[in-house]
Amino acid sequence: MESSDNNDFFWSGRFEKPPHELFQQLNASITYDWRLAPYDIQASIAHARMLSAIGVLTTEEFGEIELGLGQVMAEMAQGDLAFELADEDIHTAIEKRLIEKIGDAGKKLHTARSRNDQVATDLAMFVRDQCRQHLSDLVLLLESLYNQAKAGVDVILPGYTHLQRAQPLLLSHHLLAYFEMFRRDFSRFGRALGATLSMPLGAGALAGVNYHVKRSDVAKELGFEQPGANSIDDVANRDFALDYLAAAVNLSIHLSRLAAELILWSSQEFDFVEISDAFTSGSSIMPQKKNPDACELIRARSARVAANYQGLASLLSSLPLAYNKDMQEDKMYVFDTVDILLIALPLTAEMVETLKFNAARMRAAAEESFALATDAADYLAARGVPFRDAHRIIGRLVRKCIDEKKKLGDLTLAELRLESPKFDDSFFQVVDLEASLERKISEGGTGPARVAAQLELAANRLAEMRRVAEALRQ
Ligand code: ARG
């Protein structure tokens, strides 16, 4: 990209000197906002169509503009259009190229609009499209989780609190917890999409324009629900971008927590799961290594998404009304986040789909642990021992088992009776993994019947989300 040493700016009329070379570098957003080009062109065509409908442009002029903009888009798609710093931003670059191509008709395009309403419109359309894409990608991830959960209905593992073995769980139940997290993300991106549906175009620089523009017609053509209600807010509003980033922060925290768990679970210490070779890499020195790099990088990028949210929030919080040039940099936070999610989300969907769980190892870990101690305390409580006392008694027996390297079920009835006369032979049926799960009868819990109900609910919700995501892509 070359800087311009002539006075070749649309706004040069009022100036005696050209902008400083360093200021041009500071000022230009063309290095990144070229990504808005398809939206800018679409919005310009809708704007010009409306201008011709209200008699500001002739039908011929509109025809030239529409054709010219189509050609500019094609040139850009082929990479034939070289930008220079004097173009400043994508809006100017497109308009300049249009004027080069079609002459005077092109110079009329910027009637009744400003770059302020233009950029807000382009960005809202861009964010709307990204929300749609993330919603489809979320469906893929939810499908993978659902499929693995369905396959894991007989697999038992120890559940953890404080990363200490706590109580036995069904693998399905564990995976459905992630399903819930990503289901909420789906709702959040739906709401973020909803926040993009008010159209800024027609607000002009901030005060409205001196023409009978038909904003509703333009809004309809561009897929907005309606034009914004207040032209000042239209150009100053970036809530939709912040809503998008807030949804992205939640999602990337969830992706990161899943990744962190897979990193632990795929370690030799846990050995609960194997991540496909496709998402791992080797060490340049240690031939035996298989590192969970994809998970680690997804975890790292969640930090960047959170920083992007913080960045835009800080950028916006001190701005007076209406448009301020600071807002030009809103796009950096949005684009970086989009690029992260466009990889992390479909990658995680495929990685989950291809996970190989080690059911034998999980079961052994549940058996080795004292994950049934709560059930043992409940056994005494059911026999009239107050729960607090029962807890203490089982605690002492656990202590004894640790010292003697035994499990609760290995103790003899005589040893149990030393602690409480309430023990009888039925105790040995209680300290059993399957029996423990069967006793988890509460809604949402890990009991097999409750997990079956959760799976059914998940299937219904998945079908509904798939329907929504598909309808939004039309
Ligand atoms: N490149 C600018 C942006 O992204 C466009 C709006 C510029 N408006 C202005 N009055 N200089 O925000």
**Model pLDDT, residue 287:** 85
Question: Over 60: is that where the pLDDT of 468 sits?
Answer: yes
Rounded-to-integer distance, Cα 273 and Cα 271, Å: 6
As a dihedral over the C-alpha atoms of residue 180, residue 182, residue 188, residue 193, rounded to 10 degrees, the angle is -140
* pLDDT bucket at 7, cuts 50 / 70 / 90: very low
Question: Over 60: is that where the pLDDT of 178 sits?
Answer: yes
Task: Say if ligand 1 is within 6 A of residue 327 CB.
Answer: yes
Model confidence over 296-309: pLDDT tens digits? 999 999 999 999 99
Mean pLDDT of the chain: 96
Query: In ligand 1, which atom is closest to the CA atom of 123?
Result: 4
Q: Using H for helix, E for strand and C for coil, what is the string for the chain?
A: CCCCCCCCCCCHHHCCCCCCHHHHHHHCCHHHHHHHHHHHHHHHHHHHHHHHHCCCCCHHHHHHHHHHHHHHHHHHHCCCCCCCHHHCCHHHHHHHHHHHHHCHHHHCCCCCCCHHHHHHHHHHHHHHHHHHHHHHHHHHHHHHHHHHHHHCCCCEEEEEECCEEEEEEEHHHHHHHHHHHHHHHHHHHHHHHHCCCEECCCCCCCCCCCCCCCHHHHHHHCCCCEECCCHHHHHHCCHHHHHHHHHHHHHHHHHHHHHHHHHHHCCCCCCCEECCHHHCECCCCCCCCCECHHHHHHHHHHHHHHHHHHHHHHHHHCCCCCCCHHHHHHHHHHHHHHHHHHHHHHHHHHHHHCCEECHHHHHHHHHHCCCCHHHHHHHHHHCCCCHHHHHHHHHHHHHHHHHHCCCHHHCCHHHHHHHCCCCCCCHHHHCCHHHHHHCCCCCCCCCHHHHHHHHHHHHHHHHHHHHHHHHHHC
Rounded-to-integer distance, Cα 378 and Cα 392, Å: 12
Question: Over 90: is that where the pLDDT of 81 sits?
Answer: no
Task: Say if ligand 1 is within 6 A of residue 94 CB.
Answer: no
* pLDDT bucket at 438, cuts 50 / 70 / 90: very high
Report how far ligand 1's centroid is from the alpha carbon of 236 (Å).
12
Atom 12 of ligand 1: nearest residue by CA position: 328
- pLDDT > 70 in the chain, percent: 99
Model confidence over 142-169: pLDDT tens digits? 999 999 999 999 999 999 999 999 999 9
Which tokens belong to 95?
């308009």
Domains and CATH numbers, the chain: 12-111 (1.10.275.10), 116-204+225-364+464-473 (1.20.200.10)
Model confidence over 14-51: pLDDT tens digits? 898 999 999 999 999 999 999 999 999 999 999 999 99
**Model pLDDT, residue 429:** 94
**Model pLDDT, residue 316:** 98
* Contact call for residues 253 and 309 (beta carbons, < 8 A): no
Rounded-to-integer distance, Cα 227 and Cα 232, Å: 12
Task: Say if ligand 1 is within 6 A of residue 29 CB.
Answer: yes
Atom 5 of ligand 1: nearest residue by CA position: 115
Mean pLDDT of 222-234: 98
Query: In ligand 1, which atom is closest to the CA atom of 205?
Result: 10
Mean pLDDT of 240-259: 98
* pLDDT bucket at 10, cuts 50 / 70 / 90: confident
The closest alpha carbon to 298, from 353, 343, 268, 334, belongs to: 343
**Model pLDDT, residue 157:** 98
Rounded-to-integer distance, Cα 69 and Cα 166, Å: 63
Question: Over 70: is that where the pLDDT of 2 sits?
Answer: no
Does residue 163 or residue 7 have the better pLDDT? 163
**Model pLDDT, residue 288:** 86
**Model pLDDT, residue 56:** 98
**Model pLDDT, residue 11:** 85
* pLDDT bucket at 80, cuts 50 / 70 / 90: confident
Rounded-to-integer distance, Cα 461 and Cα 466, Å: 8
∠ CA(6), CA(8), CA(9), 5° rounding? 135
Report how far ligand 1's centroid is from the alpha carbon of 78 (Å).
26
* Contact call for residues 380 and 172 (beta carbons, < 8 A): no
**Model pLDDT, residue 83:** 87
Q: 11, 87, 116, 126: which to mutate for ligand 1, most atoms within 8 A of CB?
A: 116
Query: In ligand 1, which atom is closest to the CA atom of 331?
Result: 4
Model confidence over 271-284: pLDDT tens digits? 999 999 999 998 88
Query: In ligand 1, which atom is closest to the CA atom of 90?
Result: 1
**Model pLDDT, residue 8:** 73
Report how far ligand 1's centroid is from the alpha carbon of 189 (Å).
27
**Model pLDDT, residue 4:** 42
Which tokens belong to 55?
């008699």
**Model pLDDT, residue 86:** 86
Mean pLDDT of 55-81: 96
Atom 2 of ligand 1: nearest residue by CA position: 328
Question: Over 90: is that where the pLDDT of 197 sits?
Answer: yes
Question: Over 90: is that where the pLDDT of 337 sits?
Answer: yes
Query: In ligand 1, which atom is closest to the CA atom of 115?
Result: 6
**Model pLDDT, residue 61:** 98
* Contact call for residues 51 and 107 (beta carbons, < 8 A): no
Q: Which are the catalytic amino acids?
A: 162, 283
Residue length of the chain: 474
Q: At what angle do helices 387-404 and 373-382 cross, to 10 degrees?
A: 140
Report how far ligand 1's centroid is from the alpha carbon of 426 (Å).
77
Report how far ligand 1's centroid is from the alpha carbon of 88 (Å).
9
